[in-house]
Amino acid sequence: SYELTQPLSVSVALGQTARITCGGNNNGIKNVHWYQQKPGQAPVLLIYRDSNRPSGIPERFSGSNSGNTATLTISRAQGGDEADYYCQVWDSSTAVFGGGTKLTVL
Amino acid sequence: EVQLVQSGTEVKKPGESLKISCKGSGYRFTSYWIGWVRQMPGKGLEWMGIIYPGDSDTRYSPSFQGQVTVSADKSISTAYLQWSSLKASDTAMYYCARPVGDGTLDGFEIWGQGAMVIVSP
């Protein structure tokens, strides 16, 4: 079955840029979606289809995809960005989530 | 306003059956897939299955196939997730979610508030 690999944790200094990666299998990864989940809350879609932001999502959040790795970039990190982040793809009509990355803002 | 509203917390015993619901409003219910996602305590997101209420086309994760049933009643814009015999390991938060685009399997833009299911003797 398809698997997505994310780092367990990422740390970023306040105001700096955080990058969270999502690795696919050897066939490449495409149309990656990214979610943010804060404790006790439902996930929020940040990026869909690699690089599209839903309305209401700040421009500080951006996505990119090159070959086998997709990246979520959070610019000017704020304390409120501390959360778990998940990537997700569709593989043969089944959804697959990455294991999640905990972002800490120092 | 587009929203998904889920049924409330359930406390059940092992072996009991359960059906939780997710009511959509503010959009054409029959035109969008609705998926279900499990989150066990302290763990990540797991996709369970999805249904297209327009024609009841249903897909399941291999991990959940045969363990749960996903259904929908388009007359009342409601999707369901049900178990015939709960286990303690079914204790989790369950979310319903709707993709961005109509008719497409896409990123999940709209999420329900979650329904906590607790299975304990």
Among A33, A37, A42, select the one facing B107 at the smallest CB separation: A33
- Under an 8 A CB cutoff, do B44 and A84 touch? yes
The pLDDT of residue A100 is above 80? yes
Q: How far apart are CA A47 and CA A87, in angstroms?
A: 9
Q: What is the DSSP letter of A53?
A: P
Q: How far apart are CA A70 and CA A68, in angstroms?
A: 7
From first to last of its 121 residues, what are the pLDDT tens digits of chain B?
999 999 999 999 999 999 999 999 999 999 999 999 999 999 999 999 999 999 999 999 999 999 999 999 999 999 999 999 999 999 999 999 999 999 899 999 999 999 999 999 9
DSSP string of B30-81, one letter each residue: GGS-EEEEEE-TT--EEEEEEEETTTTEEEE-TTTBTTBEEEEEGGGTEEEE
Higher pLDDT, B26 or A67: B26
Q: Which of residues 4-63 of A touch B (CB under 8 A)?
A: 33-35, 37, 42-45, 47-49, 54
The three-point CA angle A87-A88-A92 to 5° equals: 155
The three-point CA angle B69-B78-A91 to 5° equals: 55
Q: How far apart are CA A43 and CA B70, in angstroms?
A: 21
Task: Supply the pLDDT for residue B91.
Answer: 98
- Under an 8 A CB cutoff, do B62 and A1 touch? yes
The pLDDT of residue A26 is above 90? no
Q: How far apart are CA B70 and CA B84, in angstroms?
A: 12
**Helix or strand (DSSP H, E) at B93:** strand B92-99
Stretch A5-32: mean pLDDT: 93
Task: Supply the pLDDT for residue A27.
Answer: 77
Interface contact A92, partner B, CB < 8 A = no
User: Which residue is associated with the tokens 């929020």?
Assistant: A44
pLDDT-based confidence at residue A2 (cuts at 50, 70, 90): confident
- Under an 8 A CB cutoff, do B108 and A47 touch? no
Q: How far apart are CA A49 and CA A36, in angstroms?
A: 15
User: Which residue is associated with the tokens 């009511």?
Assistant: B23
Stretch A30-49: mean pLDDT: 97
**Helix or strand (DSSP H, E) at B25:** strand B18-25
Task: Supply the pLDDT for residue A67.
Answer: 78
Lowest-pLDDT range, A23-27, A99-103, B36-40, B74-78? Answer: A23-27
- Mutation choice for B interface testing from A33, A57, A86 by most B CBs within 10 A: A33
